[in-house]
Structure 1
Amino acid sequence: MVDSPTIAVWHRDDLRLRDNAALDAAAADGHPAPVFVVDPTFYRSGMAADARLRFLHESLTALDDRYASLGSGLVFRHGDPAAVLDALPVDRIYVNRSVTARYGRERDAALFGRDDVTTFAVDGLDRTDRGRDEYDWQAGAESYFESEPIPAPDALPPNPLADGPTVDDVERRYGVSPTKRAVPTGGRDAAWERLRAFADRLDRYPGGIADPAAAEERTSHLSPYFQFGCLSVRSAKRYVDREGTDPRGIRLFAKRCYWNRHYSQKLVDWPGWTERAVNPVFRGLFRDSHDPDLVAAWKAGETGFPLVDASMRALRETGWLNFRMRAMCASFFTYVLQCWWKPGADHFYRHLIDGDAAINYTQWQSQSNLTGVHPVRIYDPRKQVREHDPDGEFVRRYVPELRDLPTEHLDRPERTPLAVQASSGVRIGEDYPHPVVEFEARREAARRRFARLADRAREALSDPEIRRRASLSRRHGRKTADDSETDAPGQRRLDDF
């Protein structure tokens, strides 16, 4: 009788047992040995706030508990993944493919060619060398969402690997000490609890997407669980399809699940999204006017534009922001402050608990029109106050120095009469800053600059490869009774998702 091979199941952003192709195959082919590699590069990069690291650690603890309930356990190792995997006393390594760029993509490219490594890609994405014109992405995504999630094992043998460092050891080693508040708890059980609660109140979802205060209460907040793989997008969509009772909410959530996969496909196709403008005409745009003082004011939420400031403080304090406010802050950073897009996108990625490179960087480029296929869409932050925070609930929550200012002055505090300032206990220019730039002048200057580059940008798009990278899917892109109108045929706005 031949002994079963010992198979390391290398977890990365798939911190679950259900809908896990690598674990399912390992259980069928041999003796699974679940392992997570604590990679120093991830911790030392500075690209993940401590709250995101804590969410990861909670998710790992929950995964270990889940394995223990089935008779196994999750073993931790610390170090360079290649060296760690080399040292494991196993016969094979099974791993689910991630969607990543930069260091992660280079790491995977070096490891996935090894004879002892088998990869799995049950995520609705195409990783062949075929162009999108030769691959029906929509059909692939539909097939993924319509198929049943892979069930979790009923039982597992003990993990044969020796114990390594603990989560507490890792937190002490890297000084993880989060300061953000209202951060969700990581892990499979927390993910399913949130999913069930969201489905139960799905009727509140369609009207609670754009307004930032409402969005904090009425959107799903499932994105961190998707990002770390505590819950697969497929499992979430199928649960809402089955248990949701509001047809409009079901359709809106389904669209967002498809777009989650679509943005991941964009990063699979071209990892350069995180580093440089898709359209080469816009590479280095606004570097000549990049002002570190304006960047600092934007990051601190001290620009003198209340909804921008409230949004940036919410990002820093909670690690979350609804998509319309993400869009407005990105637009403001690039068009109005006229700063180079990448430091702004990196700042968002660093602070977001749901920091997803595919969504964050693709949408920053889209909102900054670095694709050349979108219109120049410049959010007016004062109009956004009037339309999406008309009672000032969100502004007052995150900009307390304006808490007692009458609502009619919250869109432009600098125009508040001195007598009203005195009675409200706020002095504009002292307690709260004057606008750091003149909005209308900056907006027109940005439009003129993009107009000068428009012909060259269109010419660059005549290259089929650049056009394919820059264009978003034309499916799910028409105006419906349930959704917002697109900015251009086949193109979506960040705040639609």
Structure 2
Amino acid sequence: MSNRDYINVVWLKRDLRLQDNEAISNALKTDKPTLLLYVFEHILLNDEHYSTRHFNFIKESIRDLNAQLETYNTKILAVVSDVTSAFNQIQEFYSIDAVFSHMETGLLVTYNRDKEFTRYCRNNFIDWIESENNGVRRGLKNRDHWFENWETYMNSAIEVFEPNENQLLDHKAIESLESVFKVANLETPANTIFQKGGSSTGWKYANTFFQSRHENYMLNISKPEASRQSCSRISPYIAWGNLSIRQVFQKAKELKTNAKDKRHIAAFKSRLRWQAHFIQKFEMEHTMEEASINKGYHKLKKTISESYQKAWKEGLTGFPLVDASMRCLVQTGYVNFRMRAMLASFFTHILWQPWQNATTHLSQQFLDFEPGIHFPQLQMQAGETGINNLRIYNPTVNSLKYDPDAVFIKKWVPELDKLDTLFVHEPYLMTEMEQAFYNFKLGEDYPEPIVDIKVNRKRASDILWNMKDDPVVRRESFRILKRHTISERNRLLKDQ
């Protein structure tokens, strides 16, 4: 191929898969050769929401893609650059006819980058064609018929990756391009306990879940230790696009189950819809990244405590289930939904800290960080939507109920391992004599509680319940229901 020939570029972002990738399929339907591109963007490499674990997962995903692409004598052009700079470099070799990508529901920095890239494409006479992502739609004003449209999309045909010969730029062409780029180093640490990226690994998790692990899905979903096995564990692969929701939805639908299993699979499928629902909410109201969706809560002022926040981040609050959950999350990138909700509730209610101060620490730790889930969920758990039930999680009640034998706590807070189970849940109840008996010193071997949970829980409850009657909160609640959830609730009522 000579210089300045026309090509298409598929700009991969959070859709790191070949199968059921509409951007790739649409590019291959044209008569132009196609380049597959991933850009490690400076704006994201430097963004405080991201951490090394995310980029390692992406690198592993690209390596997995490259292994699949060997059959076609091609690979991903993976570079470190700004997006417009990357496309300028490519245009030194080729004329770009069209760029194909999925519609990204991302951070404010990616939203602004997309606006800049729109201008770039217009100025360079390039078509930018974006595909719907997992049933999330852009430009909606309300949720009328959203469920029906989402289910139609989920049941539609899966895009099959079947390129013809020479449709994809070959190794030689890509190596020529690499000569003018800072090529990304795709090496990652071999021995970590984080889940590894890539569609191949993602399907291993999905297949074992559908084969047997789903059998205790609902029974163990809230248990911090048992859920690590009986939950699907595919959330990172969905967040980074190794698997599409449509692929997983149809796989679940195909599963032949007995009456007992059907309940578990139905619950799992409902969470796929739940995932899309929250991303759709964020797509329609992106200001949620920085401020509460309900403007009535903007007047809520909390005194920032650096010491409280530090103890929470380090798992040293004196509340064992909170500390075990945080330490597990930091070390593995995963805790189940209930523990995530409890961590957010403890931070915002018991410690009475602004949810905005929890955003970056949690996003850096969640291997499955997804902006469209992250911000709406934080606000919901903080009780600042005005439309959701106020939930102030009691960590002791939750540990006794969901980790009664303290297996999870002892695993992640080993300094409590030598205590009897009752004291593992509530070490602060130990008398000095009991501490001496166990050769354990509260405040030295494990911290005393950093706050009085009963007093702080009542304070949070009283303030937030009283705010529900605030005229601005009530007006905003009505607006939110009308825009985001009213049609959903009508649908649920009809289904009952």
Where structure 1 has 5 or more consecutive residues not aligned to the other structure, the ranges are 481-489, 491-497
1:158-173 aligned at under 5 Å gives the runs 158-159=168-169, 160-161=173-174, 162-164=176-178, 170-171=184-185
In the alignment, is residue 390 of structure 1 matched against residue 404 of structure 2? yes
AA aligned opposite 1:316: V
The 8 Å contact of residues 50 and 177 in structure 1, kept in 2 or not, is answered as no
Matches of 2:386 and 2:105 in 1, distance apart?
25
Pair 151,54 (structure 1): closer, same or farther in 2 beyond 3 Å:
same
Aligned to 2:475: 460
In the alignment, is residue 13 of structure 1 matched against residue 8 of structure 2? no
The 8 Å contact of residues 305 and 412 in structure 1, kept in 2 or not, is answered as yes
Pair 424,148 (structure 1): closer, same or farther in 2 beyond 3 Å:
farther
In the alignment, is residue 207 of structure 1 matched against residue 209 of structure 2? no
The 8 Å contact of residues 104 and 133 in structure 2, kept in 1 or not, is answered as no
The 8 Å contact of residues 180 and 317 in structure 1, kept in 2 or not, is answered as no
Matches of 1:5 and 1:168 in 2, distance apart?
23
Corresponding residue SS for 2:153: helix
Matches of 2:418 and 2:486 in 1, distance apart?
45
The 8 Å contact of residues 215 and 230 in structure 2, kept in 1 or not, is answered as no
Where structure 2 has 5 or more consecutive residues not aligned to the other structure, the ranges are none
AA aligned opposite 2:455: A
Which of these residues, 147, 159, 171, is aligned with residue 138 of structure 1?
147
The 8 Å contact of residues 89 and 180 in structure 2, kept in 1 or not, is answered as no
Matches of 2:320 and 2:348 in 1, distance apart?
18
The 8 Å contact of residues 51 and 180 in structure 1, kept in 2 or not, is answered as no
Matches of 1:222 and 1:156 in 2, distance apart?
33
The 8 Å contact of residues 9 and 26 in structure 1, kept in 2 or not, is answered as yes
The 8 Å contact of residues 404 and 425 in structure 1, kept in 2 or not, is answered as no
Aligned to 1:487: none
Deviations 1:334-386 (A, max 9, x none): 11100011111221111110001111111110011111112321111110111
AA aligned opposite 2:153: Y
Deviations 1:319-339 (A, max 9, x none): 111000001111111111000
Pair 384,181 (structure 1): closer, same or farther in 2 beyond 3 Å:
farther
The 8 Å contact of residues 205 and 232 in structure 2, kept in 1 or not, is answered as yes
Which of these residues, 275, 281, 288, is aligned with residue 260 of structure 1?
275
Pair 216,26 (structure 1): closer, same or farther in 2 beyond 3 Å:
same
Which of these residues, 74, 77, 97, is aligned with residue 75 of structure 1?
77
Pair 338,44 (structure 1): closer, same or farther in 2 beyond 3 Å:
same
Matches of 1:178 and 1:303 in 2, distance apart?
31
TM-score normalized with structure 2 length: 0.89
Q: Calculate percent identity across the aligned residue pairs.
A: 26
Aligned to 1:34: 36
AA aligned opposite 2:385: T
Aligned to 1:495: none
Aligned to 1:308: 322
Aligned to 2:458: 444
Q: How far 1:179 sits from its partner (Å)?
A: 11
Corresponding residue SS for 1:126: coil
Deviant stretches of 4+, over 4 Å: 165-169, 176-181, 469-472, 475-478
Which of these residues, 296, 311, 314, is aligned with residue 297 of structure 1?
311
Q: How far 1:68 sits from its partner (Å)?
A: 2.0
TM-score normalized with structure 1 length: 0.89
Matches of 1:31 and 1:440 in 2, distance apart?
65
Matches of 2:377 and 2:356 in 1, distance apart?
12
Count matched residues: 473
Aligned to 2:431: 417
Pair 295,178 (structure 1): closer, same or farther in 2 beyond 3 Å:
farther
Segment of structure 1 superposing worse, 297-306 or 416-425? 416-425
Matches of 2:270 and 2:491 in 1, distance apart?
7
Pair 6,469 (structure 1): closer, same or farther in 2 beyond 3 Å:
same
Segment of structure 1 superposing worse, 161-170 or 334-343? 161-170
